A and B are shown apart, each in its own frame.
Chain A
Amino acid sequence: MYDGKIVLVTGARRGVGQLVAEHFLKHGAQVVGFSRHDDTGEPRPGYHPMAVDVGNADSVARGFERVRKQFGRVDIAINNAAVLTSQYSMIMPAAAAQGMLDTNVLGTFLVSREAAKLMRRGKWGRIVNISSMAASLQPMGDSVYAATKAAVATLANVMAKEFAPMNVTCNTLGITAIETDMLGLLPRDKVDALIAGLPIPRYALADDVLNVVDFFVAERSSYVTAQTVFLGGVN
């Protein structure tokens, strides 16, 4: 399904990023996994972990330089890396807010920018930003996180216009709660209450996420860009 494709996944060591990376690997892609820390796991054929802090422009530039030298291109970029601090605004530390802005927004921008440069030559590319139901539901405690997740959709929409002449699409997938490490950072009763209010009141499954990722990156989706798809009936 993805034989020969070079896929870049940020935040690939765990959670949704790991899920997506495994999916592309399983279907034949060469997967470059950006994550802040060195991957200490067993080497796997087709998987190329790189220690890159997406919120740091120099680190991203170095990572892409390695990708360019090793593969010469990127076909698909999945901007998944994100950090979350859930806290009432009046007691949210500035450093925590800055951390979310750096990784979630600046990181998505930097990786998309560099990926687009590598997609330009081949005149083909798919960029998918992973957003969250928080962008739409705007729960208390998630002011900055929700704002960053709304921002990645806006980034995708503007970049969709800029990159369209290169046949590069940019879309956003807004996921609902899914069993990952990040979920453990939130009070489970509050997440349960949010989920209970959805049209489809259940947690997301891996396949719910992968289904939309597959759709966005498909060859047939060349006319699908600047779109945001939320799971579970969030809109």
Chain B
Amino acid sequence: MDMLTQDKEAAVMACIYKAVRSLNEERGADEQIAVGPETCFFGEGSALDSLSLVSVIVDLETLVSDEFGRAISLTDDRAMGRDPVPFTDATTLKNYLLELLAE
């Protein structure tokens, strides 16, 4: 993996972590979401309710758009129709975002 790709991966993951931390700021001390590559956003094992997931998605779209200078959508038909859905965990989400940014 070249340095450029590594940097891009790290930048995308940083956006994901920032979105989760931002959500944590709105949650109580006993409701904090663990921040890491395995953070689960959707389905079994996710600690996020639907509104929290929406918050993360909205923040993440903005953060990635600012970071990479182009608009991306995480909620189009393609994203929701994938198996597994891109929100399974932070790593899956990062890979999906990299895919979108590569287009």
Residues on A lying within 8 angstroms of B by beta carbon are: 61-62, 65, 68, 117, 120, 162, 165
Contacts and interface: CB of A to CB of B under 8 A. Distances in A.
Given A65-B71, A68-B62, A120-B55, 4 more contacts: A61-B71, A62-B71, A117-B58, A117-B62
Contacts of B29: none
A61 B58 CA distance: 13
Interface string B65-89: 1000001000000000000000000
11 contacts: A61-B71, A62-B71, A65-B65, A65-B71, A68-B62, A117-B58, A117-B62, A120-B55, A120-B58, A162-B51, A165-B51
Contacts of A120: 55, 58
Contacts of A165: 51
B57 to A, nearest CB: 10
Nearest to B73: A61
A13 to B, nearest CB: 26
Main secondary structure of the interface of A (DSSP, over half): helix
Nearest to B76: A57
A212 to B, nearest CB: 29
Contacts of A65: 65, 71
Sorted nearest first, the 3 A-B pairs with minimum C-beta distance are: A117-B58, A61-B71, A165-B51
Nearest to B26: A123
A62 B65 CA distance: 12
A103 to B, nearest CB: 21
Interface in B34-65: 51, 55, 58, 62, 65
Nearest to B50: A162
A117 B71 CA distance: 14
Nearest to A64: B71
Contacts of B51: 162, 165
B71 to A, nearest CB: 6
Contacts of A162: 51
B11 to A, nearest CB: 20
Contacts of B65: 65
Nearest to B57: A117
A71 to B, nearest CB: 14
Contacts of A61: 71
Contacts of B71: 61-62, 65
A117 B59 CA distance: 9
